[in-house]
A and B are shown apart, each in its own frame.
Chain A
Amino acid sequence: MSPGWLFKMALRDSRKNRSRLLLFISSVIFGIAALVAIYSFGYDLQKNINDQAAELIGADLAISSGNPIDKKLQPLIDSLGDRKSMQQSFASMALFPKSNGTRLVNVRALQGAFPYYGSLETTPVQAASTFRTGQQALVDATLMLQFNAVVGDSIKIGDISFKIAGVLNKAPGQTGISSSVAPVVYIPLQYMPQTGLAKTGSRIEYSYFYKYDKPVDMTALVKSIGPRLEKDDIRYETVAMRKENTGRFFGDLTRFLSLVGFIALLLGCVGVASAMQVYIKEKISSIAIMRCLGVTGTKAFLIYLIQIICIGFVGSVIGAFAGSFIQTVLPLVMKDFLPFEIKTTISWLAIGQGIALGIIISILFALLPLLSIRKISPLFTLRMSYEQVNTAKDPLRWLVYLLIIAFIAGFTFLQLQSIAGSLFFTLGLLAAFFVLTVVAWLLMWFVRLLVRNSWSYIARQGFANLYRPNNQTIILIVSIGLSTAFICTLFFVQDILTKQLIISGSANQSNMILFDIQTSQEKALAGVTRQYGLPVIQQVPIITVHIDEINGKTKAEAEKDTTFRPRRWIYNSELRVTYRDSLTSSEKITRGKWIGRAGPPGALVPVSLDERFAQGNNIQIGDTIVFNVQGTDVATRVASFRSVEWNRVQTNFRCVFPAGVLEDAPQFHVLLTRVPSKELSVKYQQAVVRQFPNVSIIDLALVLAILDELLSKIGYVIHFMAAFSIITGLVVLIASVRISKYQRIQESVLLRTLGATRRQILAITSLEYFFLGSLSALTGIVIAVIGSWLLAKYSFHLPYVVNAIPAVITFVAIAVLTVVIGLLNSNGILNKPPLEVLRKDV
């Protein structure tokens, strides 16, 4: 018999019931479509976020120096990038001739097409490009408001006046607080000489922005030019460096997307595997007949292997393209709801991955039941599978298990690029699988014990379905349970992550910092702040101190003492400390005990140190430190270490004194507030400057605006991917429950023939599916809670709080859904006379 015959047989066998085959293929399709759609969305969104992140700098590479670039370095500077811009920025007093007002501004003299990512957002829009050609300026919106200036007015920078071409609303590449102390004014660089501001002694920051038109390995580039630049005190920054410094969000997003990818794979597995399991099971009688007719076990195995590969291939191809179709069409459909444009590109990588994975998963998961084909004896024709084929002893079966585990581990490794990570994911999955199987076994064992003959027929039959031969308990509990676990895990994790984003998002952040407030002005300024309806988010005193003695040793003594533990440079540092009687919400005591009030005079004052500061300087709890508070010695004892949450705009201190010691020491105060609008910001700043001319104001609104946009995008992506994966998860779940359709048909039809009413059959089916659905959903949720806790703790390093409401909703939804699908499955039989069904379908 030739391979041709095998193929022919595979085809012939599939002919018997094409509609049934379609159902199996559809399960493969859903699994792979989910996988491909999730992957391609992941690629798209990651790219979107990366582009957005580039706006933080506005170029691929930025370098800057406080001095003009040395001539020797000029060739290097010129050789970089495909396009470049130059900028000189500096502080200066600008004059608005119309209102005769002056104010410190941050002048940026620009040449070139910067920014290359994002744009200078101006009113009118074209001003962002037109100002570069003439003696024109772009002026920060708050500054315009402050001096009642309008477009077309002039602003004097240095010796010459510039026509205001537009109002600057947003600018990429804000270089931080230094530029926020003063509002920004852009002028063209070619007018720099005429301003007369660049003279000996002028403090000017020279920056170069580079854009690479073709992808360049920036890490390697920076590695090669970095040392040379550093030697000349030239700073450099790439988008990747900025992302790393911007905080945990990009990392969180990447981790989340790999989690989603992993789950997509598993959803694919669930979809395909459950189809294959049931499919082969159903084929057992045909195989037995073929064996009777002389087909060897191996040949039977090959016939169905060919069939499975074909089914897997067809399903995967259709699924892959369906996934891409969803990916392309969905953003268009949802256009009006999306806060930003998703640029979708067909990802051939995702399609290829989908098809390959689909076939591999099909084969791997079909192999398990296929192996038993070899052992099916012709006798089965007679016995009709009342005895289950016992294959547990087949060594090849273990090989297949091993292959499946290796496949999942290997694939996870491709996703995570971390051996430990993929190991934990795989182990976690195995554990989940094991737990679900055990739960299924326990259910069967328990129900078997429980069922009594005294029960009504319906109840007995419904329960008995769970453990009698031809039961579907294990396969359904595992597939429903795993799907539920994935759905819930995604939900919990996205909840944790978005909470973090909300905390860091600007809605709860201060965006204006006032400092140099004198003690006599403290109350009055807080009053003015409230008068403008603004919150006083934080108001803290700041005292400068330095360290005279540690553990009784002065700097000179410490230098002689080789056993001295703390680092000696700590003596040289000037510390800014504060005092208060309680911790702030962003602080946590990690060691020791927080003491908010100083003891009686003469006692050692208990202070709290920032954990990292203490560790960096080798200071331990119980060390005594004598602080020199501007001439007065204060002897203290390190009572506690604090950890501080860093991703907020707030004041943080290396050392906090308790109340009752430093109240009279010379100090200034810092006030943090949040100003909702530019108009209010201007009015408030004017009032502050008028009444408290010495107070300096940092307006972070412009800087935070860009960051905020980014955070909300990241938040959106997380929501979107979670929601999308959850929906696909549900679809896969439905498909895998739907697979069980033919399992119960024969019995239902027999029952009908024996005179069972429609209602009785409905009740029996409901009971069975309700138990399967609710038990697996419950187990799945428990697995999800444990899984997301582990993820939160070890992968995202975030505090974990279980949100009970979505868990309950998921439980109810999945249980109901399972029953509904189960009932729908038997719908066809119930609505027709038994004979018709018998003839057609069995």
Chain B
Amino acid sequence: MFLTYIKQSFVIATVVVFSACGNSNKPAADEKNPAAAAAAPDSSVSAQKQTILFFGNSLTAGYGLDDPSTQAFPALIQDKIDSLKLPYKTVNAGLSGETSADGKNRIGWILKQKVDVFVLELGANDGLRGIPVKETIKNLQAIIDTVKLRSPAAKLVILGMQVPPNMGKDYTTQFKAIFPQLAAKNNMALVPFLLDGVGGIPALNQRDGIHPTAEGDKIVAANIWKVLQRVLQP
């Protein structure tokens, strides 16, 4: 929370707008410091394992969860990977409130570390703010281009999002099309809808109606795993 106004209600409203000020994770379960890992890529652990970088907003960060470092979907995917004894470690680079434009700006900083699998989860905040679809496409493409440039070998995954139906049919349709379009163009694996089976179900969402609960995140992780496992074990 950074913006205040004399009305408390305004402050609360602002928090929602900015999707800020909540519990957030420390990146990934056992990974306290991704940049440190990047700075020391030869350390024993990271030398053996490949890095899956989840680059996204509050959904990735696990906004509002009691303990994002174990409950957000990147951590759940890590659990899955560990149970299958696959040589991957996940890094949670989610940042609450991030739009595609913010992400475009941040990607350089994040790519200081080695990336083997890049999972892109951005756009939802653009949609909630009614930012023109072509603007979101442009920014996401710029992020993908940067990843391709800096880590040419990285496998790419994009997580599809939808905006709630109250935004109107035209916009929701156009918005939904962003992700298959980018996936096809950039040869990325596509999770058709990240919140499939979670979005719109009150019991699986937090009070704000946007962010999944810990239970909801399990379904989200399963949605991702369906696609991600084919990327990790071709």
Q: In the bound complex, do residue A573 and residue B24 qualify as a contact, i.e. CB atoms below 8 Å apart?
A: yes
Q: In the bound complex, do residue A104 and residue B129 qualify as a contact, i.e. CB atoms below 8 Å apart?
A: yes
Query: Once bound together, how far apart are the Cα atoms of A649 and B10, in whole Å?
Result: 10
Q: In the bound complex, do residue A104 and residue B26 qualify as a contact, i.e. CB atoms below 8 Å apart?
A: no
* A628 cross-chain contacts in B, Cβ below 8 A: 26-27, 32-33
Query: Once bound together, how far apart are the Cα atoms of A693 and B135, in whole Å?
Result: 7
Given A247-B6, A630-B35; 18 other pairs, CB 8 A cutoff? A199-B166, A203-B210, A518-B101, A546-B24, A548-B26, A554-B32, A573-B22, A574-B61, A630-B95, A630-B110, A631-B27, A631-B33, A631-B36, A631-B93, A654-B2, A665-B109, A666-B102, A694-B126
Q: In the bound complex, do residue B26 and residue A202 qualify as a contact, i.e. CB atoms below 8 Å apart?
A: no
Q: In the bound complex, do residue A571 and residue B26 qualify as a contact, i.e. CB atoms below 8 Å apart?
A: yes
Determine if B209 is an interface residue (Cβ-Cβ < 8 Å). yes
Query: Once bound together, how far apart are the Cα atoms of A246 and B23, in whole Å?
Result: 27
Determine if A267 is an interface residue (Cβ-Cβ < 8 Å). no
User: Which A residues from 159 to 202 make CB contacts under 8 A with B?
Assistant: 159, 175-179, 181-182, 196-202
Q: In the bound complex, do residue B129 and residue A668 qualify as a contact, i.e. CB atoms below 8 Å apart?
A: no
Q: In the bound complex, do residue A177 and residue B22 qualify as a contact, i.e. CB atoms below 8 Å apart?
A: no
Given known contacts A646-B6, A653-B2, A630 and B24 CB-to-CB distance under 8 angstroms: no
User: Whose C-beta in chain A lies nearest to the C-beta of B31?
Assistant: A631
Q: In the bound complex, do residue B166 and residue A203 qualify as a contact, i.e. CB atoms below 8 Å apart?
A: yes
Tell me the total A-B contact number using a CB cutoff of 8 A.
209
* A648 cross-chain contacts in B, Cβ below 8 A: 5-6
The digit string for B115-149, where 1 denotes a CB below 8 A from any CB of A, is 00000000000101111100100010000000000
User: Whose C-beta in chain A lies nearest to the C-beta of B27?
Assistant: A631
* B192 cross-chain contacts in A, Cβ below 8 A: none
Distance in Å: Cβ of B36 to nearest Cβ of chain A: 7
Query: Once bound together, how far apart are the Cα atoms of A103 and B130, in whole Å?
Result: 7
* A196 cross-chain contacts in B, Cβ below 8 A: 165, 169
Q: In the bound complex, do residue B96 and residue A544 qualify as a contact, i.e. CB atoms below 8 Å apart?
A: yes
Most B CB within 10 A of own CB, among A159, A237, A245: A245
Distance in Å: Cβ of B194 to nearest Cβ of chain A: 13
Query: Once bound together, how far apart are the Cα atoms of A426 and B213, in whole Å?
Result: 58
* A707 cross-chain contacts in B, Cβ below 8 A: 6
Q: In the bound complex, do residue A102 and residue B23 qualify as a contact, i.e. CB atoms below 8 Å apart?
A: no
Q: In the bound complex, do residue A182 and residue B130 qualify as a contact, i.e. CB atoms below 8 Å apart?
A: yes
* B38 cross-chain contacts in A, Cβ below 8 A: 631
Q: In the bound complex, do residue A650 and residue B102 qualify as a contact, i.e. CB atoms below 8 Å apart?
A: no
Determine if A587 is an interface residue (Cβ-Cβ < 8 Å). no
Q: In the bound complex, do residue A203 and residue B168 qualify as a contact, i.e. CB atoms below 8 Å apart?
A: no
The digit string for A18-60, where 1 denotes a CB below 8 A from any CB of B, is 0000000000000000000000000000000000000000000
* A597 cross-chain contacts in B, Cβ below 8 A: none
Determine if B171 is an interface residue (Cβ-Cβ < 8 Å). yes
Determine if A515 is an interface residue (Cβ-Cβ < 8 Å). yes
Q: In the bound complex, do residue A513 and residue B112 qualify as a contact, i.e. CB atoms below 8 Å apart?
A: no
Query: Once bound together, how far apart are the Cα atoms of A576 and B23, in whole Å?
Result: 12
* B78 cross-chain contacts in A, Cβ below 8 A: none
Query: Once bound together, how far apart are the Cα atoms of A67 and B32, in whole Å?
Result: 37
Given known contacts A202-B165, A630-B93, A694-B139, A548 and B33 CB-to-CB distance under 8 angstroms: yes
Query: Once bound together, how far apart are the Cα atoms of A515 and B95, in whole Å?
Result: 16
Q: In the bound complex, do residue B18 and residue A649 qualify as a contact, i.e. CB atoms below 8 Å apart?
A: no
A652 touches which of B2, B126, B199 (Cβ 8 Å): B2
User: Whose C-beta in chain B lies nearest to the C-beta of A689?
Assistant: B132
The interface-forming segment of A90-98, A281-289, A365-373, A716-724 is: A90-98
The digit string for B29-72, where 1 denotes a CB below 8 A from any CB of A, is 00011111010000000000000000000000101001110000
Distance in Å: Cβ of B109 to nearest Cβ of chain A: 5
* B199 cross-chain contacts in A, Cβ below 8 A: 201
A92 touches which of B16, B22, B34, B168 (Cβ 8 Å): B168
B9 touches which of A176, A197, A664, A694 (Cβ 8 Å): A176
Q: In the bound complex, do residue A66 and residue B208 qualify as a contact, i.e. CB atoms below 8 Å apart?
A: yes
* B153 cross-chain contacts in A, Cβ below 8 A: none
Query: Once bound together, how far apart are the Cα atoms of A200 and B165, in whole Å?
Result: 8
Q: In the bound complex, do residue A631 and residue B23 qualify as a contact, i.e. CB atoms below 8 Å apart?
A: no
The digit string for A570-607, where 1 denotes a CB below 8 A from any CB of B, is 01111010100000000000000000000000000000
Q: In the bound complex, do residue A630 and residue B166 qualify as a contact, i.e. CB atoms below 8 Å apart?
A: no
Q: In the bound complex, do residue A159 and residue B169 qualify as a contact, i.e. CB atoms below 8 Å apart?
A: yes
Determine if B100 is an interface residue (Cβ-Cβ < 8 Å). yes
Distance in Å: Cβ of B164 to nearest Cβ of chain A: 5
* A548 cross-chain contacts in B, Cβ below 8 A: 26, 32-33
User: Whose C-beta in chain A lies nearest to the C-beta of B20?
Assistant: A576
User: Whose C-beta in chain B lies nearest to the C-beta of A68?
Assistant: B202
B5 touches which of A177, A242, A573 (Cβ 8 Å): A177
Determine if A516 is an interface residue (Cβ-Cβ < 8 Å). yes
Distance in Å: Cβ of A662 to nearest Cβ of chain B: 11
Query: Once bound together, how far apart are the Cα atoms of A736 and B3, in whole Å?
Result: 55
User: Which B residues from 160 to 175 make CB contacts under 8 A with A?
Assistant: 162, 164-171
Query: Once bound together, how far apart are the Cα atoms of A664 and B35, in whole Å?
Result: 14
Determine if A670 is an interface residue (Cβ-Cβ < 8 Å). yes
B101 touches which of A202, A233, A694 (Cβ 8 Å): A694
Q: In the bound complex, do residue B106 and residue A519 qualify as a contact, i.e. CB atoms below 8 Å apart?
A: no
User: Whose C-beta in chain A lies nearest to the C-beta of B125?
Assistant: A516
Query: Once bound together, how far apart are the Cα atoms of A516 and B93, in whole Å?
Result: 18
* B5 cross-chain contacts in A, Cβ below 8 A: 177, 648-649
Which 9 residue pairs spanning A and B have beta carbons closest together?
Answer: A104-B130, A201-B200, A631-B35, A574-B24, A694-B101, A666-B106, A176-B13, A178-B13, A202-B166
Query: Once bound together, how far apart are the Cα atoms of A506 and B27, in whole Å?
Result: 42
The digit string for A76-95, where 1 denotes a CB below 8 A from any CB of B, is 00000000000000111111
Query: Once bound together, how far apart are the Cα atoms of A170 and B61, in whole Å?
Result: 39
Q: In the bound complex, do residue A694 and residue B164 qualify as a contact, i.e. CB atoms below 8 Å apart?
A: no
Q: In the bound complex, do residue B34 and residue A631 qualify as a contact, i.e. CB atoms below 8 Å apart?
A: yes
A574 touches which of B8, B16, B22, B35 (Cβ 8 Å): B22
Query: Once bound together, how far apart are the Cα atoms of A653 and B128, in whole Å?
Result: 25
Q: In the bound complex, do residue B165 and residue A177 qualify as a contact, i.e. CB atoms below 8 Å apart?
A: no
Determine if A265 is an interface residue (Cβ-Cβ < 8 Å). no
Determine if B86 is an interface residue (Cβ-Cβ < 8 Å). no
Determine if A226 is an interface residue (Cβ-Cβ < 8 Å). no
Given known contacts A91-B130, A178-B13, A515 and B18 CB-to-CB distance under 8 angstroms: yes
Determine if A660 is an interface residue (Cβ-Cβ < 8 Å). no
